[in-house]
Chains A and B, each alone.
Chain A
């Protein structure tokens, strides 16, 4: 695994964290660094739904760890106002799905106020959103990043490793814009929650104060036969497939975009120029996913390098069903990722 940004003086190289531990460390460091940073959300005094804020209340108290009523539009709007005045709120959601009840505040207010005001205000605001399907039926399963991908004025981050989670959250908190920080529910590693089985679900995280810039993709597995761009949970599945295929002589280049907005399209084009083959894997519904945007960009900028059609794997355009059998049938899994790769590496246009 490549870690190109691992510039560190860290000596405790054996320290392994889960994503939620890395996120907690990031928020804690930022709260000590800047007194304008505060966390707000439902039940966060006891850690929140995925234990993002576990322990923070006893350390920072009621003024910095603000337990709210069930009132998403109210406390998102409140956070917007506080951010306009120079504070840096981090809003914790039990489920990312709940931001729909506050969509006007996010899409119509937060994402547009800077633009409509001719640049008079800035709104540094982070929404910490657990996303994706996890056996809870349709209303607690939205892939929020796909839904908001088309809204100007929002930045979207989808970390997939503990190292990235820490560096990206710190950058998000220091960013002067609305940042949706979407973490798949199977990636947190919170106590009592299912954690995906993959080689990167826990990992070394330096104790240092390090940042990962928003808009910079990362090559998680180098290869030259085919490029697979995958984010969040789909990255883990792709990494498992890539490791298995490596033993069969197929070297897959796996790119983690890490942030969807801004999207590091150059990293994808550079890789495609090398491999000539491209698969885009995401959990979003196919119609609204980021893969459509990336496919169009690559077709526009690098179609001459392609030796095969661009393939997308995404969830079909249906709500997420409850039955584990049906959920697995909808969300791209390792079998389908593997089949797509095998099919595409062998593809050749008939002459």
Chain B
């Protein structure tokens, strides 16, 4: 396998961006960071049931992508979906309650960590089978185009998905029918333990896009502004009838594939290089360098997030378990 270290572009000047947008980006990134850390802790203590796939380290990609969409645009989520969910605006309370399988969870406790979602914020409950969400996202976009709703759809997936048949079929259909869907690859270099260079003969996922007749671009994914700008352009293009686009965002997991994976298969050299690019502190430092922000302002955002998280945990703990009758409900409409 190759070792792929990050190539970090010179950060853009933030002064042209609205303070509210910058605050929102940091708020969401910091919320995801704290949420995932707390989930990890609750899980390791044996308090939280199930299994978890943390998105620590990938906050800039999910937040930059979701904030570039309109509120009624839709996303599809992956098995590593907590960050995508929070980035799109699912409440931390209903998300945390879902991870505990509680009745007040966003899926009434019947989805769990692998299937979080909330249609009211445009987040289709997560499809955790790799590749399966791409045709469905394409179908959401198909309906949007046919009914002229103006909505676009963003399909989150990982680089491992790019070797699945469903994914290829989806890209082809989206391209031939010019559907308003953005294929957003969170390329964190590893499918569980397998490095991308062991399973693809091209370097980047986006190189495959032209084969379907759509543009593809590879970007540095630990800078939320870069992701935001690229997805905004793709969204505008899709909304104006330009059809689908593939955006590949290079990022890195801070942990293993899931709870019990120490990720020792990753070369130390690669891990160290990527960990230096940790998106949350990096963006914090950039905010502090902007004259409109200071330590007090950034800390206020962080305190606000801590409050939201505490409330979410309390809500999840105090919520009722689902009634056992619920096990037989919602099989059919």
Contact = CB atoms under 8 A, between A and B. Distances in A.
By CB atoms of chain B within 10 A, which of A85, A113, A115 has the most? A85
B81 interface: no
B268 interface: no
A73 B173 CA distance: 11
Given A78-B142, A81-B136, A71 B107 contact: no
Contacts of A80: 135-136, 139
Nearest to B144: A85
B109 to A, nearest CB: 7
Nearest to A70: B169
A77 B135 contact: yes
Contacts of A104: 129, 132, 166
Nearest to A62: B177
A122 B119 CA distance: 11
A121 B119 contact: yes
Interface in B62-114: 105-111
B143 A85 contact: yes
Contact of B107 (A79, A82, A117): A117
Contacts, number: 142
Contacts of A74: 135, 138, 166, 169-170, 172-173
B173 A71 contact: yes
A232 interface: no
A233 interface: no
A117 B135 contact: no
Nearest to B107: A118
B117 interface: yes
Interface in A213-259: none
A326 B200 CA distance: 46
Interface in B306-333: 329-333
Contacts of A84: 124, 136, 139-140, 143
A115 B173 contact: no
A177 interface: yes
Given A81-B140, A84-B124, A118 B330 contact: yes
B115 interface: yes
Contact of B110 (A86, A115, A122): A115
B141 interface: yes
A84 B124 CA distance: 9
Interface in A100-117: 104-105, 108-109, 113-117
A77 B117 contact: no
Nearest to A40: B142
B125 A152 contact: no
Contacts of A76: 135
Q: Which of A81, A84, A120 has the most CB of B within 10 A?
A: A81
A343 interface: no
Q: Which of A69, A75, A176 has the most CB of B within 10 A?
A: A75
Interface string B159-188: 000000110011011001000000000000
Nearest to B170: A74
A119 interface: yes
Contacts of B169: 69, 71, 73-75, 77
B292 interface: no
A315 to B, nearest CB: 29
Nearest to A87: B143
Contact of B143 (A86, A121, A152, A153): A86
Contact of A69 (B106, B166, B172): B172
Contacts of A298: none
Contacts of B330: 114-115, 118-119
B143 A81 contact: yes
Given A81-B135, A109-B129, A73 B165 contact: yes
Contacts of B165: 73
Nearest to B108: A118
Contacts of B109: 118
Nearest to A114: B330
B115 A109 contact: no
Contact of A73 (B135, B143, B146, B147): B135
B172 A81 contact: no
11 contacts: A69-B169, A71-B173, A75-B135, A75-B169, A78-B135, A81-B138, A104-B166, A114-B330, A116-B115, A117-B107, A120-B107
What 6 A-B pairs come out closest when comparing CB atoms? A81-B139, A77-B135, A74-B169, A118-B108, A85-B143, A176-B333
Given A81-B139, A104-B129, A121-B119, 15 more contacts: A74-B170, A77-B134, A78-B173, A80-B135, A81-B137, A84-B136, A85-B139, A109-B136, A114-B331, A117-B107, A118-B106, A118-B109, A120-B125, A152-B331, A176-B332
